[in-house]
Amino acid sequence: MKLLVNGEERNVDAPPLRRLLDVLREDLGLTGVKEGCGEGECGACSVLIDGELVNSCLVAVCQAEGSQVLTVEGLNLTPLQRAFLDHGAAQCGICTPGMVMAAHRFLLSGAPATDENVREAIAGNLCRCTGYAKIVEAIQSAAAGAQR
Amino acid sequence: MIPVTSARSLSEAYAILHQRPRGLRVLAGGTDLMVAVNARVGLDRIGHVLDIWRVPELRGISLEGATLRIGALTTYSELMRSRLMAEQLPALAAVSREVGAWAIQNRGTIGGNVCNASPAGDTLPLLLACEARFVLGGPRGERTVAADEFFLGYRKTALGADELLVRIDVPLIDGARLSYRKVGTRKAQSISRTIVAVRKGPGMLRIAAGCVAPVPLRCRNAEAAALSSGDVRAAIAKDIAPIDDVRATAVYRSRVTANVLLRLLQE
Amino acid sequence: MERIELEHQGMVGRSPPRKDGADKVTGRARYLDDLTFERQLYGRTVRSHVAHGRIKSIVWDPDFDWSDVTRATAADIPGENVVHLIEDDQPLLAHEMVRHREEPIALLACADREKLEEALLHVRVEIEELEPVLDPLQSTHVFKSYRIEQEPAGLAEAFARHRVVEGTYRVGHQEQMYIEPQAVCALPRPDGGITVYGSMQCPFYVHRALQRLFRLEDDRVAVIQVVTGGGFGGKEDYPSMIAGHAALLARKSGRPVKMVYRREEDVAATTKRHPAVMHYRSAVADDGTLLALQADIVMDGGAYVTLSPVVASRGVLHAAGAYRWKHARIDCRVVRTHTPPNGAFRGFGVPQTMFAIESHMERIASELQIDPLELRRKNVLRVGDVLPTGQKLESSVSAREVLDAVAAKSDYARKRSASVGAGSKRRGIGIALAFHGAGFTGSGEVKLKPRAGVELTERGARVLSVSTDIGQGTITVFAQMAADALGVALDDVEVADPDTSLVPDSGPTVASRTVMVVGGTVTRAAQSMARILAAYVAEVFSVAEVECRGGIFSAGGKSLAPFAAVARRYLQERGPLSVIENYRHPPEIAWDDASYRGDAYPCYGWAATAVEVEVDLDTYEVSLLGVTTATDVGRAIHPVLAAGQVEGGTVQALGYALLEEHFWDRSGKLLNTRMQNYVIPTALDVPRMQTVLLENPYPHGPYGAKGLGELPMDGPAPAVVAAVLHATGALVSELPLSPDRVMRAVAP
């Protein structure tokens, strides 16, 4: 089956129920997508499918056929990622790719980057290291930068 | 390898149902079934998967007279973004926002919530309070089942082996207001400890609750007590049968369900 | 409080982007499961389904095709069947007795993961069940007990003559829930040795454990930490177990074996924070002066000793809180139960006892009708005061300062005196004070003899130590310290991978020791190297008084040569240069293991937390409206990373306070092993936090720095108790403050 992954057409030969997470990590080598729980709770596996944030551990690959998939590897050191660096928003980093995808999607929405809006956008991405403080700061900083 | 049919139309889906493959499971957004697949729970009992994610007839929200028609595949995100929902039934959009978080809301469907029939399903008390009707379809045709006749037992529904939930019809009532409160385990990505929904209209009151019995249910004793200015707290105690589990104790559920109901009735 | 002015402007005290940050934000960082090894097999563990029993037999289904499955049991261990730690009582694989559910009994490996999962269903262990002991209060098997006394002769009189306040405080298990599960890969070597890559905090712990299991000399074992997705103590000792398993399978199969735990397995089988039941009894003067303390603490160690003696030790040494007492007797015992062994989790005994003493202070304030902040201010430790073990606090004491800072920043006085409300929502604010000994307890560092240093590279230096970056920023902070000592740019300093075959043993990444102990040693080594290079430059250029700044050597204001040029020339002329230093323990610090008296820690960190809550009296849910912390870190080498430690630890502690709870059934089975049913805070569960960092330098710490990593875990939970007490009048003395518990306390 054909998937469009990070702008590139990829041919995937996998059992239909194989998790998109495993197809991305193992078949396509995109190890930036992480597994933290296997049950759609932690968000470490977050990617965008046709522009919407999903947990790739819950997507059967047959359902992604013909779709556009964006992973962290498809971002090219965006201002958001630079804001993560500047603000210290990554500690151990395992939640970071998924967090970046959720934040990226939030910035695309153009919603005002209030504390509440930002926290709601990343509520499905668990972080155990940072307490979320600098992640929220980084996203707000990137949003402010995007407005200029 | 478990065979999967990705149906592209309702008739294609019905054709599979007609064959009645052994161990058939329906896959919508995956937020329930894929958790079981990940955990390798009951895999040997899954004989065939019918993937309905791309069946267009199952999507869409429309207004037909005084009935709000919600396609079974409508996701929580779609409920949250729908102008019709905002106008006609904002509470259902609001509870959708309390399910999981963005990634779950983009894939979880209201039909999945109904067919999964968990006693903790967040939309279910609201649908019960609205006296929603579930439209079931299959190779033998369509039929409608009232919400409060759909949940037969713990995770057991009236859905036949060769049927799909196609649509949820919600009768709109002039002057009626639907409200609810979900009490979850944290502020996002949480399963409810208890959830109560109330629909109040002229001379009409419907109360439903979740997480307080093996099924989500209408609270008819509470309704009668509230309408006759009786003891609502004592009445709802007769409607529900909560248990202790890792989320809450029965005592907590009893007390808080009544508290929440009384507060909703005041509003 | 004095701030030591740094002699030169360098990287220390600044917050550059972390050196491993770019890889992390782009997804390029490779964690263990991102690595593939040629011909790798996957490994899984067969575990006990019974909490206590005698293994009768392992039954392998004869109808299953085992030909491509490697199987291993205790009989396959060539050395000692032990996971080496303190007491060596824990087997790698159970062979006669099982002592907890999920105890490992056998191992499987296969190249085909589907087949591997299938294989797990085709092996059965027959166990004769024995009665398990699950309640620590019922257990008579004591792993270790401690008693600390301070002028005990006066206890009886104090209790007889003054008001007595008594309370019992309970805390349960807490799961580290690092987002990356336990993961290792073991590779058999042609020389019969073993190499292990893994997610871990302490490579040499694993190294030594492997030596005992496989009878291997030092140079036939290499353990390498890879990028690690969180540890918090949960990857302190457990990796020795999983690495031992992978290694056994690797040796038996002759192929690399990768083991990555599924989340449910990780939660069910690995270590957690020790539960504790803590009974406190205090005699207090009517004016609020604390006089006498009697505390009796029981901690649940689980089935094997692991780190329990040290957890109990740290717990008991902090049990009296940051206060002066005239008389004290504190007893603590840690006992065995037939549950998975408990282990290290950030705080390591202190979150438990600090919860008890701080909640007890609230009880005292309540009974005496004194404002809790005033009660604390009145009794708080100062320089010159003596702790129950006889340690005199010589310097760097900030108990009063952090209390005042947090009270000011959180607007405590105004909020405290405001009405809590009369409707269905009640508001409250509470404060807790914590302190935390930095570094190993007592003579730990002296016994360990940690070593670390730097080696010269063509453009700068490479830091050599086995201290791991598990998110806290070790790589960046060590590079800053070495860069400043050498006078070069941050980019010119790299940090060697923690590989036990290549770096000196600087000790484990635990006990809030990494910056203070190891960073200090790295700094001294870099300073030595700087002197060697300066002398070399002086010789080459025939000058005196050489220094290096901004990567340029100069003398008398005149530039001589860039560091890189000097380094290349030195290496060409004189060969490799590395300087490894031994940790130098301040000689004034004296501790007696036998009597358990003296200076338990070289210095202490201090922190105060103010929490503002709203309690919903319909649902008894506690919402956090505001969180403010004030933390004395000695010196913030990297202020953003330091604040990150405070913020992260605070939120873990708020989870401990409000959300995180484990439930067990009567057979010793853990009922909630998923992220869905063991809930940690999401971004919506915590508000914006105010973080104040204070610097009260510790004279023997590098640039004045002292340990920080665990201190933030100690105060927030009792601060929540205090705030809920203020809001509702009810003191909830058991964690977490679930709505169920709040309901029972507020409306019994």
pLDDT tens column, C530-560: 999 999 999 999 999 999 999 999 999 999 9
Mean pLDDT by 10 residues, chain A (148 residues): 98 97 98 98 98 98 98 97 98 98 98 98 98 98 87
Interchain pair B259, C619: CB under 8 A: yes
- The CATH fold assigned to B4-51 is 3.30.43
C-alpha span between A35 and A16 (Å, rounded): 19
Contacts of B188 in chain A (CB under 8 A): 120, 123-124
The pLDDT score that the predictor gives to residue C72 is 98
* Domain ranges (residues) in chain B: 4-51, 58-171, 177-266
Nearest CA-CA partner of B138 in B159, B116, B108: B159
Put simply, the answer to whether B103 touches A54 (Cβ < 8 Å) is yes
pLDDT band at C7 (very low <50, low <70, confident <90, very high): low
Q: pLDDT for C612-646, tens place per residue?
A: 999 999 999 999 999 999 999 999 999 999 999 99
Phi, psi of B29 (to 5 degrees): -80, -15
Instruction: Give the span between the Cα atoms of C520 and C478, in whole angstroms.
Output: 9
Q: Which helix (DSSP H) or strand (DSSP E) does residue C358 occupy? A: helix C350-368
**What's the CATH number where C629 sits?**
3.30.365.10
Q: Which two tokens stand for residue B240?
A: 């529900």
CB pair distance less than 8 Å for C682 and B252: no
Q: And the tokens for B256? A: 């808080």
The answer to whether C556 and C542 have CB atoms below 8 angstroms apart is: no
* Rounded Cα–Cα distance for residues A122 and A136 (Å): 9
* CB-side neighbour CA atoms (13 Å) of C24: 26
Which residues, in sequence order, are bridge partners of residue C277? C170, C298
C9 located within any domain = no
Q: Which chains border B (3 or more CB–CB pairs < 8 Å)?
A: A, C
Q: Do C71 and C82 form a contact (C-beta atoms < 8 A)? A: no
For B38, name the nearest residue in chain C, comparing CA atoms only: C262
Residue C681: partners with Cβ closer than 8 Å, 6 or more residues away: B186, C651, C654, C655, C658, C659
Q: Which of A17, A53, A57 sits opposite B102 (nearest CB)?
A: A53
Tokens standing for residue C550? 């901004």
Amino acid at C151: E
Q: How many domains does chain A have?
A: 2
Return d(Cα C474, Cα C30) in angstroms, integer: 17
Chain A residue whose CA is closest to B7: A63
**How many residues does the structure list for chain C?**
748
Which of A22, A58, A94 to probe by mutation at the C interface, max C CB count within 10 Å?
A94
The tokens describing C644, both together, are 């990150």
The boundaries of the domain holding residue A7 are: 2-72
Nearest CB partner across the interface for A88, out of C641, C676, C683: C641
Contacts B188 to C, Cβ<8 Å: 682-685
Does the complex come out with an ipTM higher than 0.85? yes
pLDDT of residue C1: 34
C535 touches chain A (CB under 8 A): no
Nearest to C707 by CA among C525, C432, C496, C509: C509
pLDDT at C267: 98
CA end-to-end span of chain C: 47
Residues of A in contact with B27 (CB under 8 A): 60, 63
Residues C384, C286: one domain?
yes
Contact A52 B106 (CB under 8 A): yes
3-state secondary structure of C137: helix
Bridge partners (DSSP) of residue C117 are: none
Residues of B in contact with A41 (CB under 8 A): 189
Q: Let me know: does C658 contact C622? Beta carbons within 8 Å.
A: yes
pLDDT digits (tens, 9 = 90+) for C350-367: 999 999 999 999 999 999
C653 and C723 belong to one structural domain: yes
Numbered residues of chain C with Cβ closer than 8 Å to any chain B Cβ: 117, 264, 424, 617-621, 623, 659, 663, 671-672, 676-677, 679, 681-685, 739-740, 743, 747
Average pLDDT over residues C370-388: 98
How does DSSP classify residue C452? E
Closest CA to B257 of C655, C619, C280, C93: C619
For the domain B177-266, what is the CATH code?
3.30.390.50
User: Over pLDDT 90: what percentage of chain C?
Assistant: 98
**CATH domain B58-171 topology:** 3.30.465
Residue C331 Cα to chain centre, angstroms: 23
- Give Cα separations from B25 to B2, B8, B43, B163, C151 (angstroms): 11, 17, 11, 11, 72
pLDDT for position B164: 98
Nearest to A24 by CA among A57, A50, A53: A57
CA distances from A130 to A90, B84, C271, C476, C612 (A): 7, 40, 22, 16, 20
B102 interaction partners in chain C (CB closer than 8 Å): none
CA distance linking residue B200 with residue B183, whole number of Å: 21
Question: Please, what is the average pLDDT of chain B?
Answer: 97
Q: What confidence score (pLDDT) does residue C588 get?
A: 86
Cα–Cα–Cα angle for B36, B80, A6, rounded to 5 degrees: 65
In a mutational test of the B interface, the residue from A13, A19, A62, A108 whose CB has the highest number of chain B CBs within 10 Å is A62
For the stretch C147-196, pLDDT in tens is 999 999 999 999 999 999 999 999 999 999 999 999 999 999 999 999 99
Mean pLDDT of C375-396: 97
The domain boundary, picked from A11, A45, A72, lies at A72
Counting one residue from chain A and one from chain B, the pairs whose CB atoms sit within 8 A come to 90
Domain boundary among A72, A88, A103: A72
Chain centre to alpha carbon of residue C29: 23
What does the block give as tokens for C363? 């009880």
Provide the pLDDT for residue C4. 44
The values of phi and psi at residue C731, to 5°, are -95, 115
- Whole-number Å distance between alpha carbons of C151 and C160: 16
Question: Tokens standing for A22?
Answer: 């495993």
* C406 min Cα distance to partner chain B (Å): 26
Distance from CA of B106 to the nearest CA of A (A): 7
Searching chain A, which residue's CA lies closest to the CA of residue B40?
A38
- Whose CA is closest to B52, among B21, B87, B10, B93? B10
Rounded CA-CA distance A48/A32 in Å is 13
Q: Is the pLDDT of residue C742 over 80?
A: yes
Last residue of a domain, one of C242, C269, C296: C269
Q: C683–B188: do the CB atoms touch at under 8 Å?
A: yes
| C448 and C429 housed in the same domain | no
Residue pointed to by tokens 């409810």: B192
Pairing of strands C41-47, C70-72: unpaired
Burial class (CB in 10 A: 0-12, 13-18, 19+), C558: exposed
Among B128, B112, B90, B86, residue whose Cα is nearest residue B215: B128
Binary contact (C683, A125; C-beta < 8 A): yes
The per-residue b/e assignment along A63-72, b for 16 or more CB within 10 angstroms, e otherwise, is bbeebebbbb
Q: Which of A37, A52, A72 is the last residue of a domain?
A: A72
Cβ pair B6:A65 closer than 8 A:
yes
Cα(C674)–Cα(C266) distance, rounded to whole angstroms? 9
Residue C13 has pLDDT above 50, yes or no: yes
Give the 3-state secondary structure of C402-440. HHHHHHHHCCHHHHHHCCCCCCCEEEEEEEEEEEEEECC
Range of the domain at C391: 276-442+592-746
Whether residue A35 is found in the same domain as residue A88:
no
Query: Which pLDDT does position A146 carry in this prediction?
Result: 80
Phi-psi region at C142: left, alpha or beta (left = phi > 0; alpha = psi -120 to 50): beta
Which residues in chain A have their CB less than 8 angstroms from residue C687's CB?
Answer: 115
Selecting from B183, B188, B263 the residue whose C-beta is nearest the C-beta of C684 gives B188
Q: Are residues A66 and A98 in the same domain?
A: no
Looking up tokens 């889906």, which residue turns up? B13
pLDDT confidence of residue C610: 98
Which chain C residues contact residue B187 at CB under 8 A?
A: 623, 682, 684-685
CA–CA dist B73, B88 (Å, integer): 19
Q: Are residues C454 and C556 in the same domain?
A: yes
DSSP classification of residue C16 = P
CB–CB of A58 and B34 under 8 A? yes
Instruction: Answer whether C683 touches A (CB < 8 Å).
Output: yes
C651 three-state secondary structure: helix
Looking at the structure, tell me whether residues A142 and A92 fall in a common domain: yes
Among C582, C613, C643, give the residue marking a domain's end.
C582
Assign residue A55 the CATH number of its domain: 3.10.20.30
Q: In this structure, is the dihedral angle defined by the CA atoms of residues C198, C199, C201 and C206, taken in order, positive or negative?
A: negative
CB of C660 less than 8 A from some CB of A? no
The verdict on a CB contact (< 8 Å) between A55 and B77 is no
Q: Which helix (H) or strand (E) holds C332?
A: strand C327-335
* Residue whose pair of structure tokens reads 């320089």 in the numeric block: C383
Q: C109 and C193, same structural domain? A: yes
Nearest residue in B to A22, CA atom: B38
Cβ–Cβ of C618/B263 closer than 8 Å?
yes
Claim to verify: residue A13 and residue A63 sit in the same structural domain: yes
Per-residue pLDDT band for C8 (boundaries 50, 70, 90) equals: low
- Of chain B, the percentage scoring pLDDT greater than 70 comes to 100
CB-based contact C685 B183, cutoff 8 Å = no
Question: Could you report the per-residue pLDDT of C244-265, keeping only the tens digit for each?
Answer: 999 999 999 999 999 999 999 9
Residue C482 has pLDDT above 60, yes or no: yes
pLDDT at C9: 72
| pLDDT value at residue B248 | 97
Shortest alpha-carbon distance between residue A52 and chain B (Å) = 7
Q: Which pLDDT value is given to residue C6?
A: 55
Q: How many domains does chain C have?
A: 3
C3: pLDDT confidence band, cut at 50, 70 and 90? very low
Handedness of CA A128, A134, A138, A140 (dihedral sign): positive
Chain B hits for A57, Cβ within 8 Å: 34, 38
Instruction: Please give the average per-residue pLDDT across C52-64, as a whole number.
Output: 98
All residues at 6 or more sequence positions from C727 whose CB lies less than 8 Å from its CB, including other chains: C420, C421, C426, C427, C428, C613, C614, C615
Record: contact C228-A92, CB cut-off 8 A: yes
C652 touches chain A (CB under 8 A): yes
pTM, two decimal places: 0.98
pLDDT-based confidence at C587, cuts 50/70/90?
Answer: confident
Average pLDDT score over residue span C76-82: 98
Which residue from A60, A102, A120 is facing B34, i.e. has the nearest CB? A60
Q: Which residue is it, tokens 């279910």?
A: B124
Q: Are residues A17 and A58 in the same domain?
A: yes
Do A35 and A59 fall within a single domain?
A: yes
Whole-number pLDDT of residue A118? 98
Residues C532 and C558 in one domain: yes
All residues of chain B having their beta carbon less than 8 Å from the beta carbon of residue C621 are 183
Q: Which of A54, A56, A116, A117 to mutate to test the interface with B (most CBs of B within 10 A)?
A: A54
Looking at the complex, report in whole angstroms how far the Cα of residue C69 sits from the nearest Cα belonging to chain A.
22
Q: Could you say which of C224, C249, C269 is where a domain stops?
A: C269
Same domain, A55 and A24: yes
Tell me: the pLDDT tens digits for C637-662? 999 999 999 999 999 999 999 999 99
**Euclidean distance between CA atoms C742 and B118, whole angstroms:** 27
Please report whether residue C169 resides in a domain.
no
**Amino acid, single-letter form, for residue C255:** R
CATH number at residue A142: 1.10.150.120
Closest in C264, C618, C685 to B259, CB measured: C618
